[in-house]
A and B are shown apart, each in its own frame.
Chain A
Amino acid sequence: MAVGLYYRVGFRLEEEGRTGFAHLFEHLMFQGTERVPKADFGQLITGAGGVLNGSTRHDYTNLFEVLPASALEMACFIEADRMENLDINEQTLQNQVDVVKEEVRVNVLNRPYGGFSWLWLSQYAFSSYANAHNFYGEFADLEAATVADARAFYKTWYGPGNATLVLVGDFDEDKAMALVERHFGPVPTRPAPPVPDLVEPIPSARSEHRRLDPLAPNPRVAVGYRTAAFGTKDHLPLALASRVLTDGRSSRLQRRLIRERELLLQIDGGPHFPIGDAFEFKGPALFTFEATPRPGVSTERAVTAIDEELARMAEDGPSPDELLRSKRRELGSYHASTDSRLGRLRELGVLAAVHDQPELADQLPLLFQEISARQVQEAVGRWLRPERSTVLHWLPDLERGKG
């Protein structure tokens, strides 16, 4: 079965001067308690035949295990224990600051296209600190983090009042609820503070930015459009539009720009791409395309071509067959995801914790089937417009790249 705790805190709630703190703190949640010390923590779960991990995103952080159903009580004990009694100390903090810096090095600084585009595009596309800071963290900020910061963050955001527990698998619901009650019931309440309004104005003119990468051999480009908020009328039509536009070789943009017009080698995209989907965010978010031009084609030319194809989609909408195929794919991937305990946990977790609508998980396939070509066409016409976008040209740094 899968056990997941979703805490309603993510990158956007980090304080100024503490960039990267939400993710750093997620690491501290694996550092043990008095009753389950650091070295035992992972061993208990792997030794029961399970796997464990966690992730930090814009508007939530999850901690999860997939393990045999007979280990449910152990998982409840461990999760309730680290919700109440986390051991935050100087030694583990400094250790995890080091580890997170290595994570940033391996994923961003020591590889070509590091952090492209999710880590950088939002820093240009948004203006408020909450939405536009470095989510992985400036090294100076990570190094400045203190035990007192961590204790305050824990107290504020990691209480039961700010968490949703999700269980998926083969188990008796009544017995499971009794175990949950036994272990989480005694954890003292820590009501979460209200979350600040993160909304900011939608841009009215395209902004263009360049970053040079000494390790990248080829240019790439990302175009991010402010996307429709969860639950608004264009939200699901835009999610379906991302399938029509970039899902597979028969999608509109791959067919037109890679094969017919021979401008690109690759294009992909969608709401909250590439680190999430249409349901993974609560505050403002981007609908992003990432493209690699063919050698000899400029990133500017690539962006113009994307604009042209989106304008066509806004003009003519998807064909009946394009719409049908996108819906069939949506249905197939719903079933595939449901087949996996962890896949199911992720769907339910985000819908329950971030949007308080877990029942939506099983309604989505039907809601997608009801979307019309006109809804997709109008949503694309309203949101995927050049003046609402931010462009990031990612270019090889020819000077430094030669070493």
Chain B
Amino acid sequence: MTTPDRSLELTSEVPQPGPVPRLRVGRPTRARLDEGLDVMVLARPSVPRVELRLSLPAGSAIGGSSAASALLRAGILLGTRELNQEEVSESIQRLGGSLQVHQDHDRIHISASALSEAEAELYHLVCQITTQPAFPQEELETERVKLIEGLRIARATPQFPAEEELQQIIYGSHPYGRPEPPESAIRKTTRRQLRELHRATFLPSSGQLTVVGDVEPRRTVARLRRAFAAWTGPRRTVRVPRVHPKNDSRVTFIDRPGLVQTVILTGASGPPVGHPDQIPLALASAVLGGSFSSRLMSNLREDKGYTYSPHTMTVSHIRDSLVGAALDVRTEVTAAAFVELAYELGRLATVEVGQDELEQTRNYLAGVRVIFLQTQAGLASSLAQVRAYGLDHRYLEGYADRLAAVSPTQLRQVAARYLSPASVTTVMVGDATQAGEALGRVVPVRYRGRRRAGTA
């Protein structure tokens, strides 16, 4: 079935809202500290708190071992030369704040917060854990076990093998194709390797520090200078290798007998943040599966009832992005759901989107950005994220204008380039014996896992 573009004139009784408000981020204060640390501070005194983000090029694609990177991420919270791990946790709690470390393929992100009265103490604590991690042997062994067991649990979900397979097909031997390290590598990584990786990647000149909150920017910069004065290191650029993405027009089906749903994951290499195709593709992705009223929701959920939460997603990388769609469907409708997914991808790539649907989707993306940036935490995370791509607050403020500039033709063209049925790769995880026969009639299928040859 098609989901025709409905005109909102049908519901003219409904009071009309005004335009989405323009996003005003305000002008941040920039500073480069003596050793090269790039600092951005923005006053946002909505509540008496301060949010800090420190981003460093220490992702899983850096340094040749994703196991070492993963342990480095965990190791940062294990204490310093002066404080053990509980004392680090106690310190941040006394500041009324929190401390987390995240990692993606390209970077490590240290996120910390405090009550604003404890601002200076927060900076000293973050500097200490960043520059003087102790990587204590005994605690490291516990983290190793936690990491291995955590990965075993992740691998037991049906989504994980789908993601792993998709990334492997698209990126091959590039580090982006290797989302999580094998257990054996985690076991073998030594404390010395961690120290070396830390020394090579935790460099002030490649770090980006973002502070947002109830602060006075000039005083904050002075405090940061004092707190981070001891962080020194050579000026070196850490690079991620170029990607050479591939696709596979067959469906790769990983057999997990007994599953009651099939995970369907489809995706392709897309443009990096800041690329001219990025905003048109963000719109195309939102039309397809970005909201409650997107096409995948309208068709596969609200019309067919095949799935609960079909959605599109974008994973940003320095070198590109991984764009695609994901849905979990009951086993018996696997082939039918694939047909509808391919139809929606094909329609987006061949038929121009109507003005109403385009306008609604622009407003949605602009509005979501306004909502997310209303909090100190959302603003700090967004600024830190765009800074990793060499952009700044102006990118956030100009987002709505760039959405407005995208034409239906441009949207169709980028959808055809990145998200058409011919450009995406699809991976499924489910019960092959139950789903395979019907699926084999609509698309060539390559089986992985337990399914015996010749049963369909």
Say whether, besides A74-B14, A259-B139, A39 and B298 are in contact (CB < 8 Å): yes
For A341, what are the chain B residues with a Cβ–Cβ distance below 8 Å?
371, 374
Tell me if B374 and A39 are in contact (CB < 8 A): no
Tell me if A106 and B377 are in contact (CB < 8 A): no
Tell me if B89 and A250 are in contact (CB < 8 A): yes
Tell me if B142 and A35 are in contact (CB < 8 A): no
| Contact residues, B315-371 vs A (CB, 8 A) | 328-330, 359-361, 363-364, 366-368, 370-371
Q: Does B390 contact A (CB under 8 A)?
A: no
Tell me if B15 and A99 are in contact (CB < 8 A): no
Q: Does A98 contact B (CB under 8 A)?
A: yes
One digit per residue, 1 when the CB lies within 8 angstroms of any chain B CB and 0 when it does not, for chain A 96-113 equals 111111110110011111
Say whether, besides A46-B293, A74-B17, A339-B47, A40 and B8 are in contact (CB < 8 Å): yes
| Contact residues, B251-280 vs A (CB, 8 A) | 256-261
Q: Does A71 contact B (CB under 8 A)?
A: yes
Nearest B residue to A250 via CB reads B89
Tell me if A265 and B145 are in contact (CB < 8 A): yes
Q: Does B226 contact A (CB under 8 A)?
A: no
Nearest B residue to A249 via CB reads B89
For A39, what are the chain B residues with a Cβ–Cβ distance below 8 Å?
3, 6, 293, 298, 302
Alpha-carbon separation in the docked complex, A111 to B305 (Å)? 20
Tell me if A42 and B291 are in contact (CB < 8 A): yes
Alpha-carbon separation in the docked complex, A249 to B99 (Å)? 11
Additional pairs, 10, CB under 8 Å, beyond known A218-B149, A259-B86, A328-B115: A42-B292, A46-B293, A47-B363, A49-B367, A53-B292, A68-B17, A216-B153, A248-B93, A328-B95, A340-B378
| Contact residues, A13-57 vs B (CB, 8 A) | 30, 35-53
One digit per residue, 1 when the CB lies within 8 angstroms of any chain B CB and 0 when it does not, for chain A 246-275 equals 011111000100110010011000000000
Alpha-carbon separation in the docked complex, A105 to B156 (Å)? 15
Alpha-carbon separation in the docked complex, A76 to B15 (Å)? 9
Q: Does B301 contact A (CB under 8 A)?
A: yes
B264 vs chain A, min Cβ distance (A): 12
Q: Does A378 contact B (CB under 8 A)?
A: no
Alpha-carbon separation in the docked complex, A70 to B361 (Å)? 18
Alpha-carbon separation in the docked complex, A283 to B88 (Å)? 39
A143 vs chain B, min Cβ distance (A): 12
Tell me if B258 and A403 are in contact (CB < 8 A): yes
Contact of B17 among A41, A71, A335 (CB under 8 A): A71
For B149, what are the chain A residues with a Cβ–Cβ distance below 8 Å?
217-218, 265, 292, 295
Tell me if B371 and A105 are in contact (CB < 8 A): no
Alpha-carbon separation in the docked complex, A350 to B359 (Å)? 35
Say whether, besides A35-B11, A336-B49, A67 and B17 are in contact (CB < 8 Å): yes
Nearest A residue to B305 via CB reads A98
Tell me if B16 and A74 are in contact (CB < 8 A): yes
Q: Does A132 contact B (CB under 8 A)?
A: no
B contact residues, total (Cβ < 8 Å): 85
Tell me if A77 and B15 are in contact (CB < 8 A): yes
- 7 A-B pairs within 8 Å (CB atoms) are namely A68-B17, A74-B16, A95-B303, A218-B149, A262-B142, A265-B146, A335-B115
B26 vs chain A, min Cβ distance (A): 16
Alpha-carbon separation in the docked complex, A217 to B156 (Å)? 7
Q: Does B236 contact A (CB under 8 A)?
A: no
For B142, what are the chain A residues with a Cβ–Cβ distance below 8 Å?
258-259, 262
Tell me if B308 and A335 are in contact (CB < 8 A): no
B448 vs chain A, min Cβ distance (A): 15
Closest 3 CB pairs of A and B: A49-B367, A98-B305, A70-B18
For A94, what are the chain B residues with a Cβ–Cβ distance below 8 Å?
305
For B383, what are the chain A residues with a Cβ–Cβ distance below 8 Å?
none
Alpha-carbon separation in the docked complex, A97 to B374 (Å)? 36
Nearest B residue to A216 via CB reads B156
Q: Does A329 contact B (CB under 8 A)?
A: yes
Say whether, besides A105-B328, A105-B330, A249-B89, A74 and B15 are in contact (CB < 8 Å): yes
Q: Does B307 contact A (CB under 8 A)?
A: yes
Q: Does A59 contact B (CB under 8 A)?
A: no
Q: Does A66 contact B (CB under 8 A)?
A: yes
For B97, what are the chain A residues with a Cβ–Cβ distance below 8 Å?
332
